[in-house]
Amino acid sequence: APTLGVIGRLGGIGARPEQIGLVSDSDGAVTAISVALKLADMQSKGDRLPGDVIIATHICPNAPTQPHKPVPFMGSPVDIATMNRHEIDPEMDAVLSIDTTKGNRVANWMGFAITPTAKEGWLLRISEDLLNIMETVTGRAPRVCPITTQDITPYGNDLHHINSIMQPTTATDKPVVGIAITTEVPVPGCGTGASHPTDIEEAARYCLEVAKMFGKDACTLYDEDEWKNITERYGALKHLQTLGNA
């Protein structure tokens, strides 16, 4: 059975000593850990998923902050390349990357949204299976977070990124979809009192439902025949997974 990776992306869960308490940027970690706890609880009661799920995140209570427009970002004491080495497992056949995505003006609704699938430098069409699952989980029309080619390039190349949600795609050849936890207005990642349990729960429930369907080959993140056609016609874009020419 296929293996799904669930990665909680963030700079840190806290920005001490500048900020007291849990910061908005923590949502990725909290969601990923919630998925892990729910899976463990299900397994203890005999509800085993047909496929494996590998969950990775990191916990830092005193991460730095950094300037970013329209609102400040959370930094991280660990560089993104190191995080990718620890968070990406070769056994993952596909990856869901969860990240607080509130510091922008393009994904402006409460709840969560999914991104188009990224694979080897390509932005692919949005998975119909993922849209269907989102409709079932939320009971509303699916929401898609717009991302650009810049967002799927590595940090450190002096280009603007919406956030680190798509950074796992720079370190794997497997398909990656972002799970963006969003708000109606820009909210700083270092803001406290800004995490919404209902949104985190909904995103975690969505990841769990995707894991159920993915494990029994009832959900795909991309069309393999279309991927073959794309690469035969236009070739590889793997250079976008690198820092490029300095």
How far, in whole angstroms, is CA 121 from its chain's centroid?
16
pTM: 0.96
pLDDT band at 167 (very low <50, low <70, confident <90, very high): very high
Mean pLDDT confidence for 188-201: 96
Q: pLDDT per residue over 13-28, tens digit each?
A: 999 988 899 999 999 9
Residues 6+ apart with CB under 8 A from 14: 21, 22, 23, 26, 60, 61, 62, 63
Nearest to 168 by CA among 20, 4, 16: 4
Instruction: Give residue 94's pLDDT.
Output: 99
CA distances in angstroms from 73 to 65, 130, 135, 154, 236, listed in the order given: 6, 28, 31, 17, 32
Q: Report pLDDT for 70.
A: 76
CATH code linked to domain 3-241 = 3.40.630
How confident is the model over 147-158, as pLDDT tens digits? 999 999 999 999
Mean residue pLDDT of the chain comes to 96
Give the mean pLDDT of 167-180. 98
Res 60: pLDDT? 95
Higher-confidence residue of 73 and 146: namely 146
Q: Locate the domains of the chain by residue range.
A: 3-241
DSSP character string of 168-205:
GGGG-SS-EEEEEEEBSS---TT-BS---HHHHHHHHH
- Give the pLDDT band (50/70/90) at residue 123: very high
